[in-house]
Amino acid sequence: MRRFTFIFLGIALVVFLAYSFKPVTTVNSDDCVLISGKIVSIEEGTSNDIQIRLENDSHYYYINRGLEKGVNLEQLSSKVLNKTVTLYCPNRWTIVSPDGIVPHISKMEKGTTVVYSEF
Domain with 19, as residue range(s), is 2-117
How does pLDDT run across 59-110, given as a tens digit for each residue?
899 999 999 999 999 999 999 999 999 999 988 777 667 777 789 899 999 9
Among 20-29, 35-44, 45-54, which stretch is predicted with the lowest mean pLDDT? Answer: 20-29
Query: Which 3 state secondary structure label does DSSP give 98?
Result: coil
* Window from 19-33, 49-63, 96-110 with minimum mean pLDDT: 19-33
Mean pLDDT of the region 40-61: 94
Q: How many domains does the chain have?
A: 1
b/e per residue 19-58 (b: at least 16 CB within 10 A)? eeeeebeebeeeebeebebebeebeeeeeebbbbbbeebe
CA-based nearest residue to 34, from 81, 106, 112, 89? 89
CATH number at residue 36: 2.40.50
